[in-house]
């Protein structure tokens, strides 16, 4: 069985890289979520979001995500519902990020 390489002195990724990778994973999860999830699948995806808000490598991001989850509880009754919830939640998170001022070409 192939082994994962041991990582020594791994360089941390930027918040932006981490965020993009996380949202790619979450939107992929949403796209693959069942149309008719079981009670356990609904529970699992809600717990995953709660866990992310506790162990996310960026503490500031984790704390912000906790606030977002409190205001926007996970909706996971179907694939469409969960995917829409992810889109709305992603938009909420994006609105909380500071905007860069000015445009460069």
* Residue given tokens 């990582």 in the structure block: 7
Over residues 2-60, the pLDDT tens digits come to: 676 666 666 788 999 999 999 999 999 999 999 999 999 999 999 999 999 999 999 99
pLDDT for residue 81: 98
Neighbours of 65 (CB within 10 A): 22
The dihedral region occupied by 10, where left means phi > 0, alpha psi between -120 and 50, and beta the remainder, is: beta
CB 31 within 8 A of CB 83: yes
pLDDT for residue 96: 85
Q: What share of the chain is helix, strand, coil (3-state, %, to 5)?
A: 65, 0, 35
Higher pLDDT, 48 or 102: 48
pLDDT for residue 7: 60
């Amino acid at each position: 069985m192939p082994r994962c390489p041991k990582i020594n002195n791994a360089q941390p990724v930027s918040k932006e890289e981490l965020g993009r990778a996380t949202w790619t994973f979450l939107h992929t999860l949403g796209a693959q979520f069942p149309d008719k999830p079981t009670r356990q699948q609904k529970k699992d995806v809600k717990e995953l979001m709660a866990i992310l808000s506790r162990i996310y490598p960026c503490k500031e991001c984790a704390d912000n995500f906790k606030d977002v989850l409190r205001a926007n509880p996970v909706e996971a009754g179907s694939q469409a519902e969960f995917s829409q919830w992810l889109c709305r939640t992603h938009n909420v998170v994006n609105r909380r990020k500071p905007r860069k001022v000015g445009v460069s070409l």
